[in-house]
Amino acid sequence: MAKVSFIGLGVMGYPMAGHLARAGHDVTVYNRTSAKAKKWAKQFRGKSAATPAGAAKSADFVFCCVGNDDDLRSVTIGKNGAFGAMHKGAIFIDNTTASAEVARELAKQARKGGFGFLDAPVSGGQAGAENGALTVMVGGAKTTFNKAKPIMEAYSKMVGLMGPVGAGQLTKMVNQICIAGLVQGLSEGIHFAQKAGLDVEAVVEVISKGAAGSWQMENRHKTMNDGKYDHGFAVDWMRKDLAICLAEAQSNGAGLPGTALIDQYYGDVQKMGGNRWDTSSLLARLNKLSEK
């Protein structure tokens, strides 16, 4: 088995690193809050390090899942960053949802250091991470991907190479654009059904078997109908991701009018105090508007 490190033990990284340990890999972790890294090490019988460089030292595969571009730069090329400690031939796998620009920037730095780089954002949310059932969208060289894929499979159900460095992040942007539209449509549908006095459960049971069916409908309609929004990916994180999508669209000329509008709707949810609600809380916005 491989010598692996994992940097960033948030709601996604903590269980992902756990799956790597369960697969038999020798895992060393780093987290900004050291107590969490020590807790992980005790739970999974791994090791913790005081710095990203300490975690990455001697590792064949270095995984990372942090908040944004700035966080990513900090743990890679910042003071005591992982890149300064990685050996030639190692591979850095970035599971952060970040910009394609920072992926390309860090890939250049990795080439100078003689090690590989893959941008590998994931989809599936907290539940997917905990169940080892994430979808991984990867950008990078095919030879590097082929070496890393068996390791990534410890926490995933699907790992796909989408193209050169940056293609993983671009694919994740497509993913988030599609999710935003689906959630808004589902929110409007449930809101309409409620106002029409229909039995939402009965409606969904029928329409989910047809063209309207989706993962969001299958997994979120019950909690949405009950007004419960604590089941996964937070509004704050979605707005961060949509900002990346909209910035990239400005650069490549894509028109994203619906995405831009739904991003504003999520801003309304934040104003309602829903920063940490899950993304299905677009329904809460509609219900509040109907009260006026």
Question: Which residue ranges does the chain devote to CATH 1.10.1040.10?
Answer: 170-290
Q: Could you read off the pLDDT of 239-278 as tens digits, one per residue? A: 999 999 999 999 999 999 999 999 999 999 999 999 999 9
d(CA 222, CA 211): 19
Question: Which residue ranges does the chain devote to CATH 3.40.50.720?
Answer: 3-163
Residue 39 designated active-site: no
Is the pLDDT at 112 greater than 80? The verdict is yes
- Please state, rounded to an integer, the average pLDDT across all residues of the chain: 97
Q: For the structural domain made of 3-163, what CATH number should be given?
A: 3.40.50.720
Is the pLDDT at 291 greater than 90? The verdict is no
Q: Could you read off the pLDDT of 151-192 as tens digits, one per residue? A: 999 999 999 999 999 999 999 999 999 999 999 999 999 999
> In this predicted structure, what is the pLDDT of residue 231?
83
Cut 0.75: pTM above it: yes
d(CA 65, CA 47): 17
> In this predicted structure, what is the pLDDT of residue 9?
98
> In this predicted structure, what is the pLDDT of residue 115?
98
Q: Could you read off the pLDDT of 42-90 as tens digits, one per residue? A: 999 999 999 999 999 999 999 999 999 999 999 999 999 999 999 999 9
Going by their DSSP bridges, the two strands 122-123 and 47-48 should be labelled as unpaired
> In this predicted structure, what is the pLDDT of residue 292?
66
Q: Is the dihedral of CA 14, 54, 62, 78 positive or negative?
A: positive
Question: What is the SS3 string spanning 92-123?
Answer: EEECCCCCHHHHHHHHHHHHHHCCEEEECCEE
Averaged pLDDT, 215-231:
95
Active-site residue identified among 3, 88, 157, 172: 172
> In this predicted structure, what is the pLDDT of residue 43?
98
Q: For the structural domain made of 170-290, what CATH number should be given?
A: 1.10.1040.10
